[in-house]
Chains A and B, each alone.
Chain A
Amino acid sequence: MAQITIKGVKKNYAKTPVIHGVDVNIEAGEFVVILGPSGCGKSTLLRMIAGLEEISEGEIAIGGTVVNKLEPRERGCAMVFQNYALYPHMTVRRNIGYALKVAKVPKAERDERVMKVAQSVSLEPFLDRRPGELSGGQRQRVAMARAMVREPKVFLFDEPFSNLDAKLRVAMRSEVRRLHRDLGVTSVFVTHDQIEAMTLADKLIIMNAGRVEQIGRPTEVYNNPASRFVADFIGSPAMNLFEGEFDAEGHFVHGAGGRMNVSQLNGVRQPGRKVVLGVRPEGVRRTGADAHGAIPAVVDYVEELGASRLIHADANGSRIVALDNDSAELKSGTPVHLSLADSALHLFSLEDGRRISH
């Protein structure tokens, strides 16, 4: 177990900056997920922790030791790769035990440790097979066993489940959770899958374009997104976002002149202030035409989810999605009235996308 401190870390590829200064503290034993769209620098950050990429600027410390100049093998990290990266010519047993062989661990001890790790991920029946004879899920378990056998200070996962099918992903997710609970090793997990991120993380790091957008517990990030990007990125279906401004009476004007009564935002409704108003689909409800603050809209189409449905509608030129539990038939073109739940409103500056607290 070790704490990881990342201080002002930057990465340039031949003058082109890809990571613009990241500061993160990862507590010992914590499970941290780095989440972001592809190309945001999340894998690069992980690889810098691992020692597979050079750190252009700044400092990374693992367990109090600055590791900038250390070789990967000296950092005490183990890594699970996206494409498993198993040695194709070695049996599962030799794949798992290779790190120990390189470290000159005596054969008897090596066999014992390989066996123990193989048991913990239920791989004993496959120890004498080659990776080519295993399924994707089994290969990923071999990759995890290979990481575990060294008893590292830190586990690094680089999108390990993106080659697996949906069902297997869920199973592997709970496996990783269980292993982390049993071993308690500091883990850093990179993914672009927000469900994976939300379910696994103690702490979530949202990255975008080489910058950290927000760090926090999953619920915190979901309920209080720090920026327009995070609001848009986290949550499925995505949050409704309306660009607009407040008028003299404090109404929010958006789209082709649509007006919303947002009296709960009292205090930040300076007339002419340009903002982005966000509300999650579950914060939008269907109401009667006479309800306070009802927004008239026209149904575009309805997405059935089984237990509920999503109503995609047009409110004065702005697209709005509402989560609806009713089953009354709604045809395209039907006029409806929607209202926004008071507590569910998020406000962001249109200029820099940062959150405006209210």
Chain B
Amino acid sequence: MIERSPFFDALTYAVMIIGLILVVIPFWIVIVAASQSLQEVSRVPISLLPSDQLWVNLSEAWDRADLAPKMLNSFIVAIGVTVGKITLASLSAFAIVFFSFKARMICFWLIFITLMLPLEVRIVPTYSIAANALLPFQVILDTLGITGLVQAVSGVQIALNWNLLNSYTGLILPLVATATGTFLYRQFFMTIPDELVEASKMDGAHPLEFFFDVLLPLSRTNMLALATIMFVSSWNQYLWPLLITTDRANFGTVVMQLKALIPAQNGTPDWNVTMAGALIIMLPPLLVVAFMQRWFVRGLISRDK
């Protein structure tokens, strides 16, 4: 719909500006509060102009929340999830789109269903698996009576145990296994013309050569878009890291650590330090989005062929 009239132009601009203000105001308040001293931030009403205490507050937040190792943890988790997810998504979509095997549709729907079951919904079973990743196999062995049989024969009791609590593996793996990426890749792979697949067959390429030489280069923009989404969403994870890490000192992430910066009920109300911490913590995803947004938009909407 294209409409051109001065009134309509003014209206659209007004809507856009209101939207922009709504989005920007919280950021502005964070930046302003992070730059004020304790006295300034406690004043009512709060001043909406920045002050000169930004650096002091930032370093105070950095030290108090012990952000250096937590930043590293967050990066490891976010990058691990991003890389893992892209690998898993592209390979599973490759299998679903380009190979015709009997269980293809079942596999696709199983993956698709997980879209409707986000981590928050299945957090208790996921936790129990993370506590012992081999639990499903143990259950199978127990139900089939194999455990009892082996014990009766050899006297050895089978007790499988692989604990993922307090580990990077445990932080990363459950976040990797969701369907969004597979779905995005599937949609892209379905736009690849059949003749391209056939040409590579005639050229003598093995399926994996086709995958690495043709599909991956063609899906670069999709990959960057997916990487952006995954990095931001795994950086922002709160519930899962909170649940799985009891060893906060070694495996805590920055988003969990934000809680440590919120003033205690009867403590000093130094919200300026809290805001400075928030500023530090939201900076990496902001930079990633700012840097990737060109690819991000292209990867989600257009097909450059």
Which residues of chain B are within 8 angstroms of A82 by Cβ–Cβ distance?
Answer: 195
> Does the CB pair B195–A102 fall under 8 Å?
no
- 1/0 contact trace for B200-219 toward A, CB 8 Å? 11111110010001100110
Q: How far is the CA of A146 from the CA of B214 in the complex (A)?
A: 16
Q: How far is the CA of A71 from the CA of B210 in the complex (A)?
A: 15
> Does the CB pair A88–B305 fall under 8 Å?
yes
> Does the CB pair B205–A83 fall under 8 Å?
no
- 1/0 contact trace for A56-93 toward B, CB 8 Å? 00000000000000011100011101111111110000
Which residues of chain B are within 8 angstroms of A256 by Cβ–Cβ distance?
Answer: none
Q: How far is the CA of A73 from the CA of B205 in the complex (A)?
A: 8
Asked if A99 is at the interface (CB within 8 A of a chain B CB), the reply is yes
CB closest chain-B residue, reference A149: B203
Asked if A50 is at the interface (CB within 8 A of a chain B CB), the reply is yes
- 1/0 contact trace for B206-241 toward A, CB 8 Å? 100100011001100000000000000000000000
> Does the CB pair A87–B193 fall under 8 Å?
no
CB closest chain-A residue, reference B203: A99
Q: How far is the CA of A146 from the CA of B305 in the complex (A)?
A: 20
Q: How far is the CA of A77 from the CA of B204 in the complex (A)?
A: 10
Interface residue total, chain B, C-beta cutoff 8 A: 18
Asked if B52 is at the interface (CB within 8 A of a chain A CB), the reply is no
B196 touches which one: A72, A85, A102, A103 (CB < 8 A)? A85
> Does the CB pair B202–A77 fall under 8 Å?
yes
> Does the CB pair B202–A79 fall under 8 Å?
yes
Q: How far is the CA of A145 from the CA of B171 in the complex (A)?
A: 51
Asked if B282 is at the interface (CB within 8 A of a chain A CB), the reply is no
- 1/0 contact trace for A87-115 toward B, CB 8 Å? 11100000000110011000000000000
Interface residue total, chain A, C-beta cutoff 8 A: 26
Which residues of chain A are within 8 angstroms of B305 by Cβ–Cβ distance?
Answer: 88, 132
Which residues of chain A are within 8 angstroms of B205 by Cβ–Cβ distance?
Answer: 73, 98, 102
B201 touches which one: A73, A132, A146 (CB < 8 A)? A73
Quote the shortest CB–CB distance from B137 to chain A (angstroms): 37
Interface centre among A50, A78, A86, A99 (most CB of B within 10 A): A99
Which residues of chain A are within 8 angstroms of B214 by Cβ–Cβ distance?
Answer: 87, 89
From 116 to 135 in chain A, residues with beta carbon under 8 angstroms from any chain B beta carbon are 132
CB closest chain-B residue, reference A88: B305
> Does the CB pair A72–B201 fall under 8 Å?
yes
> Does the CB pair A52–B218 fall under 8 Å?
no
A89 touches which one: B201, B202, B217 (CB < 8 A)? B217
> Does the CB pair A81–B199 fall under 8 Å?
yes
Q: How far is the CA of A85 from the CA of B193 in the complex (A)?
A: 8
CB closest chain-A residue, reference B196: A85
> Does the CB pair B196–A79 fall under 8 Å?
no
Quote the shortest CB–CB distance from B59 to chain A (angstroms): 47
> Does the CB pair A81–B203 fall under 8 Å?
no
Question: Which B residues have a C-beta under 8 Å from some C-beta of A?
Answer: 193, 195-196, 198-206, 209, 213-214, 217-218, 305
19 pairs, CB–CB < 8 Å, chain A vs chain B: A52-B201, A72-B204, A73-B203, A73-B204, A77-B202, A79-B198, A79-B202, A85-B198, A87-B196, A87-B199, A87-B200, A88-B218, A98-B200, A98-B205, A99-B203, A99-B204, A102-B203, A146-B199, A146-B203
